[in-house]
Amino acid sequence: MHCLKCLIIPLTVFVVSCGGAPGGSGMGNCDDVNANGPSITGFDIDVLQVEDTLWLSLSVQSKQESATYKSSYFPRFSLFADAQALSCRVPPFEQQISDIKISSTADYDGSHSAGESLNDLLSYGGNSLEQILKDTAWFSSSHDFTFSSLPSEAGEHQFLLEVTLDNGEEYSALSNLLNVSAAP
């Protein structure tokens, strides 16, 4: 019985510690990543009022040209079941947002007439719209921003998003028409 233990313990340690990769870890890596970041092709905007909060949802439309990820993980025999995961960093967008403006087709309040920027009223998790959207690596799907206040008077609003990228491309998107209630 002691002889069997002497054989199994070193064999188990060998199988677990050797790994399949040349470095011995057995884990895949992203050493050979050939990927271009996605290219921005447009934006979507949607607005919704829930009780006393006005929400603005922005999403980026993008197109991924190509990406090739090569793992250095090698399959190997093991006495123990293991799980391997390869999580390579997705490259950021090829372009950066150089300017962004959100405005309403109607007067919003005494400080924001129709067509004027409402950017100073929008935030996400305590960060301003510009702070969030300048980091395009973060902005990869739809995110909901909140307005810090409701319009001073009830009425129909349509919100216009205008974006300029660092390569000079310009995009715009118009939200749904929304009958917004006034601030209490």
CA dist 38 and 36 (Å) reads 6
CA distance 133 to 131: 6
pLDDT reported for residue 158: 94
Q: What is the percentage of the chain residues whose pLDDT exceeds 90?
A: 18
pLDDT in tens, 34-69: 456 667 766 777 787 888 888 777 777 667 654 444
pLDDT: which is higher, 74 or 159: 159
**Mean pLDDT (the chain, rounded):** 69
> What is the predicted pLDDT for the residue at 61?
67
- In this prediction, residue 165 carries a pLDDT of 83
Q: Domains plus CATH for the chain? A: 39-70+85-184 (2.60.40)
